[in-house]
Amino acid sequence: MIECAAWTYNERVTIDKSLTLQGVDSANCVLNGTGLSGNGNGIAINNGITNVTIEIKNTELYRSKR
């Protein structure tokens, strides 16, 4: 388990193993994609990775790639 402190994180997240990503204070842990340069998704889960749980209520302005 990885716990995210109450803060606004302006970055990309790449998950490469099974885990739970959660906010210690889920209302105030924010993943924000504003102003990220270059290519890539806000939250990427590598191919073949299973058992990933994301328990963060606030993700903002990430580009969706389908």
Instruction: Render pLDDT for 3-42 as a digit per residue (tens, 0 to 9).
Output: 989 998 888 889 999 999 998 886 788 888 877 777 776 7
Q: Can you give the pLDDT at residue 57?
A: 80
Taking the C-alpha atoms of residue 33 and residue 6, their distance in angstroms, rounded to an integer, is: 16
Dig out the tokens for 28 from the structure: 């105030």
Spell 1-36 as b/e; 16+ CB within 10 A means b: eeebeeeeeeebbeeeeeeebbbeeeeebbbbbeeb
Q: Can you give the pLDDT at residue 53?
A: 94
What is the model's pTM?
Answer: 0.74
| Domains in the chain: boundaries | 2-60
